[in-house]
Amino acid sequence: MLNTNQLQLLLSVIKKIDMKTYISETHQYTINYVAASDFRKAHQTSAKYDKEVSEFDACGFTECYHTNFDPPFISEAPVKVAMKMEQKMEISINKTILIIDSIQHIEIDEAILSSDGFVALDKAKTLACAGLDAYYETRLIDRLSYIQPDKWQGKQKEVWDEVKYCSDKWRINKHTI
């Protein structure tokens, strides 16, 4: 953890020159969790548009703004995060820039916010991605209590003993000890 007194997020900015320039100049940007059903639109935002072209219009998203924060958010996003760049470091080995940021504001759709503060991204069916071109839907597996070294979660310890690939699906067999 970089700083326990302030929420921070690491972001490696890769290849998108306009985004690097924008963050360097304004020290602000947004992170928007979009619905899995919008994965094609989200993917399209990676295209390099001319400065005169609205990425929002080109990709079919609606822009919205938060008071005292300049960059736009995606109106349709159930989670919107306002970020401020605190420090940047060039990483020569892979020609990227590591940006250390602080969270300035978070807006969460109340329909996915539990009474204990848990954000149920699966209820919003948010998009997850791996790399530059693979997209997934979020699914909650379980919520577990705070872990202690001498206590297992629940009354039983489940041991995964076998994983077999079968008919385009993963079949997982388990036994309880």
Domains and their CATH numbers in the chain: 8-137 (2.30.110.10)
pLDDT per position as a tens digit, 74-115: 999 999 999 999 998 999 999 888 889 999 999 999 999 999
- Taking residue 75's Cβ as centre, other Cβ atoms within 10 Å add up to 13
pLDDT per position as a tens digit, 114-167: 999 999 999 999 999 888 889 999 999 998 888 877 776 655 555 444 444 444
Residue 153, classed as helix, strand or coil, is: coil
Q: Compute the Cα dihedral for 13, 17, 20, 22 and give only its sign.
A: negative
pLDDT per position as a tens digit, 11-29: 433 334 456 677 778 889 9
pLDDT at 150: 73
CA dist., res. 119 & res. 154, Å (int):
23
CA dist., res. 12 & res. 29, Å (int):
13
